[in-house]
């Protein structure tokens, strides 16, 4: 019974840290999120269905955020709201340099603003090198609705997400702390 008293806080801490690690992963991808098994891109008050795949390497397997490998990549953005159809939309992919002051010098793909009355934007790009990039989708008469989402290409993912590694390390640290305290209390009570 005494052991459960000390394991319970460790278990709660572990679950809390795991939960927090997943919320930061969601926030890291800006306007792009997975909801109801559909990858959604938020552009101001509007949403688009985002579909990406690499026909030469992963065949028909879709991705939502990070692109698994370098090579030919096909992306489709499908409007969810009809209200987007008459609005001009611009798409840009840039190298993530930390600064967006000179967009033209870091742009690797650009679809100028135009009206996509069919509600679908399709494009493809060949990523020759792995790295970090940012997708920018703007919409509206004055391009006032903006979605900015960072992503990586070909950087793979470790077999264990970094948030999970952090959670395990934190739980082990908390467990060691509590066991040390329990050991110290039993040593103190036995010497008294």
Does a structural domain hold residue 15?
Answer: no
pLDDT digits (tens, 9 = 90+) for 28-66: 345 555 555 578 999 999 999 999 999 998 777 888 888
CATH value at residue 35: 2.60.40.10
Place of tokens 């992919």: 93
Q: How confident is the model at residue 133 (pLDDT cuts 50, 70, 90)?
A: very high
Mean pLDDT of 155-182: 57
Does a structural domain hold residue 50?
Answer: yes
Percent of the chain exceeding pLDDT 90 equals 52
Check if the beta carbon of residue 95 is closer than 8 Å to that of residue 106.
yes
Place of tokens 């939502």: 64
Q: pTM of the prediction?
A: 0.64
Does a structural domain hold residue 167?
Answer: no
CA angle (44 as vertex; 41, 46 as ends), nearest 5: 60
> What mean pLDDT value characterizes the chain?
78
pLDDT digits (tens, 9 = 90+) for 177-190: 555 565 556 555 55
- Where in the sequence is the domain holding 140, given as residue range(s)? 27-153
How many domains does the chain fold into? Answer: 1
Does a structural domain hold residue 102?
Answer: yes
Query: Cα(32)–Cα(38) distance, rounded to whole angstroms?
Result: 10
Residue 26: pLDDT over 50: no
Does a structural domain hold residue 44?
Answer: yes
Strands (E), 14-87: 32-35, 38-43, 46-53, 62-63, 71-79
Does a structural domain hold residue 12?
Answer: no
**CB neighbour list of residue 86: distance below 8 Å, 6 or more residues apart:** 115, 117
């Amino acid at each position: 019974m005494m052991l459960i008293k000390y394991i319970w806080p460790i278990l709660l801490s572990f679950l809390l840290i795991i939960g927090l690690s997943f919320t930061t992963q969601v926030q890291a991808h800006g306007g792009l999120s997975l909801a109801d098994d559909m990858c959604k891109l938020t552009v101001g008050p509007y949403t688009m269905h985002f579909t990406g795949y690499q026909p030469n390497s992963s065949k028909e397997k879709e991705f939502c955020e990070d692109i698994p490998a370098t090579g030919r990549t096909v992306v489709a953005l499908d409007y969810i709201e009809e209200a987007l159809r008459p609005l001009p939309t611009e798409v840009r992919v840039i190298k993530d340099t930390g600064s967006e002051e000179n967009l033209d010098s870091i742009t690797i793909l650009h679809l100028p603003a135009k009206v996509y009355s069919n509600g679908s934007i399709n494009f493809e790009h060949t990523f020759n090198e792995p790295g970090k990039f940012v997708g920018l989708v703007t919409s509206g008469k004055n391009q006032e609705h903006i979605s900015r989402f960072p992503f990586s290409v070909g950087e793979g993912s470790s077999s264990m997400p970094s948030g999970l590694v952090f959670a395990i390390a934190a739980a082990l640290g908390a467990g060691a702390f509590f066991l040390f305290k329990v050991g110290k209390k039993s040593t103190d009570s036995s010497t008294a």
